[in-house]
Chains A and B, each alone.
Chain A
Amino acid sequence: MDKKKTIIHPYIPNSVPEVKEKMLEEIGVKDIETLYEDIPDDLRFKDEMNLPDPLLSEYALKKHVEYILSKNQTCQENLSFLGGDCWQHYVPAICDEINQRSEFLTAYAGEPYEDHGRFQSLFEYASMMGELLDMDVVNVPTYDWGQAASTSIRMAGRITKRFEVLIAGSISPDRLSIIRNYCSPTVEIKLIGYDKETGKLDLKDLKSKISTKTAAVYFENPSYLGIIDDQGETISDIAHKYGALSLVGVDPISLGILIPPSNYGADIVCGDIQALGIHMQFGGGQAGFIATRDEERFVMEYPSRLFGITTTIVEGEHGFGDVTYDRTSFHDRIEGKEFIGTATALWGITAGVYLALAGPQGIQELGQVIVQKSQYALKKLSEIKGVRIPFLQSSHFKEFIVDFNDTGKNVDNINKALLRKGIFGGKNISREFPELGNCSAYCITEVHSKEDIDRLVQTLDEILNQGGI
């Protein structure tokens, strides 16, 4: 942009020279440079930033960005079986319609008056999540499941005044990495094994590791390996016997058909809401929730915003506001609980829209269709020669592990061959769970038709048994 042929950028109205002059005159300085008088010369950047020439017309920008994006191949153009912390579910049109509304998209941190709708929509989100989870307190969402689990653990540490946590070894390795970083050096983490036959939590190992030093036991259900663990109550009982809390991570979209963790003794429940009406966005759509019972000892340990309903001076009017704001770091930078900042409110609003659309019947039917389809896929895949499904005696929700050890082919090569046929095979977990060997995690949701699943099975059979690699 040559300054001499002044271009007035559409995003910067007061660039107009006459306006600029007038404003400088008002301020009483001759140029903008004078306004920077407090920045010492040795701190001034004298060079020019080496950036590409700008694409000033909106059309040029559109062409440029769309060209780059066209290099992507999406799950819509291909057939994808990827899951594992980010999921391809159908996103109802209304979810996008609402989260693209200027009012919600560009609001931020106003008061419960002019931003009443922001408070109400997030209160309603929490209310619907509360029903799904059968719990009375749900936070304004945090960054993702990893953060929600980390904070749940830190909350448990503060409540029990203990500094050790037991975590189910079948947890997503990425999430474990987030937890490790967030908890160190204050909380010590010990892993509990999983049963090699069932994939469920190894109760023996839990009993051998738990003690009166344990702040909490954290496990996920369904687990990262896709397994529905029916020992929840036993696990919670063991935790409680030692004065520890029971923490459960859960995929909320499973709760139309599965009982919520609070019904098997969980004290703090967390997870990710991306499945509830939020596009995958290359992992950009994650958002974490935390839920507890309505007890002061829990509520006062949340670092998050909690929005509550109240009355106004006018009878019959619903008002909303922050519940116990004083516990947050916005109120007290040192004594506040952990820290709070901008996280993922818009995804919370979106998940609320999703749950309102789904309703009790929808969420139940959806859960059922997912397990039916995943059971079908699991059965068909297990019939392929050389393919084995580990933990077959356990039930699965949308994910399950496919074991290729007997095929003599490694997952990377199998997935490359699938890719050539327009299929994104399951996530390779052979590096995440080396003890399982050559395995991948396949994910089936309501978006997969019988035809899609049959195509996968047939293509895999060709690759594995008909020299398809």
Chain B
Amino acid sequence: MQRKTKVRNFHQAKWDEPVIYELSSKGERGILFPEIEKEIKEIVGNGISKLPKNMIRKQPPNLPELSQMQVLKHYLRISQQTLGADLNVDIGQGTCTMKYSPKINEQFATSPKFTELHPSQDESTVQGILEIIYKLDLFLREISGLDKFTFQPGGGSQAIFAMVSIIHAYHEANGESEKRDEIISTMFSHPSDAAAPNVKGYRVINIYPNEDGLPDVEALKTAVSDRTAGLLITNPEDTGIFNPKIKEFTRIVHEVGGVCGYDQANANGILGITRAKEADFDFCFFNLHKTFSSPHGCGGPASGALGVSKEFIQFLPVPLVEYDETKYYLNYNIPRSIGKVRAFFGVVPAILKAYSWIMSLGKDGLKEVSEIAVLNNNYLLKKILEIRGASAPYAKGRHRIEQVRYSWDELYKETGVTTEDITCRMADFGFHMWSSHHPFIVPQPFTLEPTESYSKAELDEYIAGLKKVVEEAYEKPDFVKSAPHRSVVHKINHDPLDDPARWAITWRSYLKKSKK
């Protein structure tokens, strides 16, 4: 097919699909469960009569009633109204590392040899899965230089919370937890690097970027004191600029007795290039659903693999998976453990997928992943800077690691078109374009991260999409401002979502409120 333009004449699936309750038809059944055997019924009766009277539900819950194919069809239709990475050039959700999640790894994770394992089975019956957990720990030790990993945290934010918990336990063990009540983070680190310490009762000091976009060393020096419990910092930060003074950060914090945690949720540009160990970090964590290819699942299941240096192993959550040269086993004997952060051993399907992904690439392959991610990113940077109205604040003329936080500020000033407007219009071409985490330090921000997964032709297509939208912004801004035009639905009315009298988080609530 020869297209006239580089962008697609796209229209997303639009089924006009009702809410499932609107499809309900009395008496229909989606699935039948096993029936009770006659012999059991003869012995125990209906089962219900033995329950406490005041606990018996009189009316069945008001669930929708649909036959099986109708349930399937409904969900297939709304799935088509969702833009997964498998379908688009998913480089517009920067910081999220929307790479390819290999299908073979899905086969492993959906095999009954894995899905039908109960976490409380006898260790002798789960040697295979324990081996995978243990070996992924060994792999991540190599990648980070640290000494032991736990996979218990069910996401990056929970890994951050686990780090904060260990920082707290460490100072408590030294009798300093009362005194050390501050944690330092930076404005371009993930929001949870500030929010999670707050939950643990810490006062959080956020270091702002200097004119180079890097967290200011002088500000850090002012911030540290004998109250400093630790540092939680992302590097490269969301700007994609590698902080060359990162070792000075850890030194300054260590000198006052603080502990340093490296947020490497996204490490996609630095595998085999630079590690937590060389930068003197005590902890780091990797999101297996970002760098290590486990799919994002509309927002999880996820996994935050948390690694620590020797000194901190004694604080890790229980149990740890160990190997005694003959068998794999669960070690609950961790004297100063913070306890548990998530049930059982974490999100094991993500562990299995990450293991398989690393096994398919090896050391050179992992390095190649990072190098190509960086190549793609700098190619994109070059091309984006050629687009009218776009800029990349900070570090002018420098190269970036795996992502860049850009700005539409110039375009906004010239046309009144905002990042949000462009996001909506990009949807008309089958693309995502994400702004950034709040607060918007970069005005009218957008963040792109091309990873290693997309071909040059795909990157060019995305760039063509942006160019097209920018062209429109200058020529007919109102058209862009009223987008989307070819997506699933049109501009939503946002006000009810912030109004207690009108918001409706469930269908029943919607029915009550819309009757009024």
Say whether, besides A72-B117, A321-B497, A358-B31, A339 and B161 are in contact (CB < 8 Å): yes
* Interface segment, one of B122-130, B407-415, B467-475: B122-130
* A111:B432 contact, CB within 8 angstroms: yes
Q: Closest approach, in angstroms, between the C-beta of B464 and any C-beta of chain A?
A: 15
**16 more A-B contacts (CB under 8 A) besides A283-B345, A286-B344, A372-B45?**
A44-B273, A45-B273, A54-B361, A78-B125, A86-B118, A96-B110, A105-B101, A111-B424, A111-B432, A175-B343, A339-B199, A344-B300, A357-B71, A364-B57, A368-B46, A419-B124
Say whether, besides A120-B78, A357-B30, A363-B61, A51 and B93 are in contact (CB < 8 Å): no
Q: Which 3 A-B pairs have the closest CB atoms?
A: A283-B344, A341-B157, A54-B362
Q: How far, in angstroms, from A322 to B496 measured CA to CA in the complex? A: 10
Q: Beta-carbon contacts of B431-463 to A below 8 Å, as 1s and 0s?
A: 110100111000000000000111110000000
- Residue numbers in A under 8 Å from B260 (CB-CB): none
Interface residues of B in 9-35 (CB under 8 A from A): 12, 16-21, 28-35
- The residue in chain A whose Cβ has the minimal distance to the Cβ of B381 is A27
Q: How far, in angstroms, from A8 to B71 measured CA to CA in the complex? A: 42
- Residue numbers in B under 8 Å from A449 (CB-CB): 34, 37
* B48:A330 contact, CB within 8 angstroms: no
Q: Closest approach, in angstroms, between the C-beta of A308 and any C-beta of chain B?
A: 5
Q: Closest approach, in angstroms, between the C-beta of B142 and any C-beta of chain A?
A: 4
Is A108 close to B, CB under 8 A? Answer: yes
* B34:A90 contact, CB within 8 angstroms: yes
* B365:A324 contact, CB within 8 angstroms: no
Q: Closest approach, in angstroms, between the C-beta of B53 and any C-beta of chain A?
A: 8
Is B326 close to A, CB under 8 A? Answer: no
- Residue numbers in B under 8 Å from A375 (CB-CB): 44, 47, 50
* A100:B156 contact, CB within 8 angstroms: no
Interface size class of A (residues with CB under 8 A): 35 or more
Is B119 close to A, CB under 8 A? Answer: yes
* B51:A333 contact, CB within 8 angstroms: no
Say whether, besides A45-B273, A72-B127, A311-B492, A284 and B347 are in contact (CB < 8 Å): yes
Say whether, besides A45-B278, A85-B343, A94-B71, A321 and B79 are in contact (CB < 8 Å): no
Q: How far, in angstroms, from A11 to B454 measured CA to CA in the complex? A: 9
Question: Which of A296, A307, A346 is packed against the most chain B CB atoms within 10 Å?
Answer: A346
- Residue numbers in B under 8 Å from A356 (CB-CB): 20, 30, 63-64, 66, 71, 74-75
* A333:B191 contact, CB within 8 angstroms: yes
* Interface segment, one of A15-23, A204-212, A401-409, A459-467: A15-23
- The residue in chain B whose Cβ has the minimal distance to the Cβ of A122 is B298
* A178:B341 contact, CB within 8 angstroms: yes
Q: How far, in angstroms, from A19 to B82 measured CA to CA in the complex? A: 31
Question: Which of A29, A34, A361 is packed against the most chain B CB atoms within 10 Å?
Answer: A361
* B114:A43 contact, CB within 8 angstroms: no
Is B247 close to A, CB under 8 A? Answer: yes
Interface residues of A in 327-382 (CB under 8 A from B): 329-334, 336, 338-347, 349, 352-353, 355-366, 368-369, 371-373, 375-376, 379
Is A413 close to B, CB under 8 A? Answer: no
